[in-house]
Amino acid sequence: MNVLLTGIPELQDCVKLELIDKGYSSDSKYTAYGRDGEPLYLLRTYAPEEDARKREEFRVLEQLREQDVLCSRPIAIGTLEEPSLGYMLLSYIEGGDAADELPRLTGSEQYGIGLRAGAELRKIHQIHAPEGMESWESRVVAKYRRYREGYEQGGAAIAYEDRLFSFIEANLGLLKGRPNILQHDDFHTGNLIVKDGRLSGVIDVNRFDWGDPVHEFLKAGFFSAEVSIPFAVGQIDGYYGAGEPDASFWALYSLYIAMTILSSVVWILRVRPEELDDMLVRINRVWEDHDGFERLVPKWYSEYKR
C-alpha cells in the first residue's frame, strides 16, 4: 500500500489506504485517508490488460457527471510500473450501502430513497451508445444461448427448467428494435450509498453496458426487493415519474428476469459454487413472485400498490 501512496501523484496528501473487502469485482478497492483522518478518495487498482476497458469506464463517469448523476467524480487514471498495475482514483461518497442502511429506516423513507434512485437511473439512460454498436437483440440472444449451453453442461438442475425455457423462447421476439442506451448494469441496493436517510450516490459502474433500459430493473426484483420492497417499488415509480410502467415494460422485465434465473445458476457455479444453495433460494423466490411466469407483474410490486 505504501507503494501506491508514493507512486500515485494524486495521493501525496494521503497517509493511509484501507482495503475494501466486499463485492465481486476483480478490482482491488481502497479508501484513501487524508492527514486529518477523513476519507478523501476511492482508489481502484486493476490488471494492466484491463486498461482499455477502464479508460472507457472513466469516460462513462465523466459523462454521468455531465448528466448531473449523483456519483463519484473521476479524478485520475494511470498505470504503475512497479507493481505492474492500473489505477483509477475517484471522489469518495460518504455513507453506507443501501442494503445495510434501508432496513434501519421507515417504509416511507425507504420508498423515498427508491424514488430518488429511479430519478438518478433515468439520468443515466440519457446517454446513448456509440455509433456502430451491435443491436441489443443480437447480443442478448447470443448471451442467452451461451448461458443455456453452459447450464446444460453444468450439472445443476432447476426443477421447472422446461417451463422456464418455454417462457423465454416464446418471448424473445420482444427484443426486436429495443434501444441501445447506457446501462449501469448492476443497479441495486448493494451499489447505492445512503447517508442520513438520503441517497448520497451511485457507485460501481465498472460493469456498464449498452442496451435496453428495462433490463436495469431486473436487479430490483432479483436483489433489491429482498432488502426493501418499498425501495424497489419507489425505484420504478421514481423512474416513471407521475405514471406507472405499462404492460410492455412488465413483459420485458419478466423476460429479462427469467433469463437471469438461468444465467445466475451458471455464474454462481463458475464463480462461487459454495453459494449455490443461497442462489437457488433467491431464484425460487423470483419464480414464485411471478407464479411461474403466469403473471408478469411481480407480487411484491402489485401487493405494495394495492
**CA gap 186, 206 in Å, rounded:** 9
Fold (topology level) of 96-304 = Aminoglycoside 3'-phosphotransferase; Chain: A, domain 2 (3.90.1200)
Question: Could you read off the pLDDT of 233-275 as tens digits, one per residue?
Answer: 999 999 998 778 999 999 999 999 999 999 999 999 998 899 9
Any idea how long the chain is? 306
Query: What is the residue-wise DSSP string for 121-151?
Result: HHHHTTPBPPTTPPPHHHHHHHHHHHHHHHH
Specify the higher pLDDT residue, 2 or 99: 99
Q: Is the pLDDT of residue 223 over 80?
A: yes
User: What CATH number was assigned to the domain covering residues 2-91?
Assistant: 3.30.200.20
pTM for the whole structure: 0.94
pLDDT of residue 5: 93
Cβ atoms of residues 165 and 145 within 8 Å: no
Cβ atoms of residues 259 and 168 within 8 Å: yes
Closest residue by Cα to residue 92 from 34, 25, 47, 35 = 34
pLDDT of residue 220: 97
**CA gap 146, 139 in Å, rounded:** 11
pLDDT of residue 110: 98
Question: Could you read off the pLDDT of 114-169 as tens digits, one per residue?
Answer: 999 999 999 999 999 999 999 999 999 999 999 999 999 987 789 999 999 999 99
pLDDT band of 25, cuts 50, 70, 90: confident
Strands (DSSP E) contained in the chain are 14-19, 28-34, 39-46, 74-80, 85-91, 96-97, 181-183, 192-195, 198-202, 209-211
The ranges assigned to domains in the chain are: 2-91, 96-304
**CA gap 12, 14 in Å, rounded:** 6
pLDDT band of 293, cuts 50, 70, 90: very high
DSSP 155: S
pLDDT of residue 156: 78
Q: What percent of the chain has pLDDT over 70?
A: 99
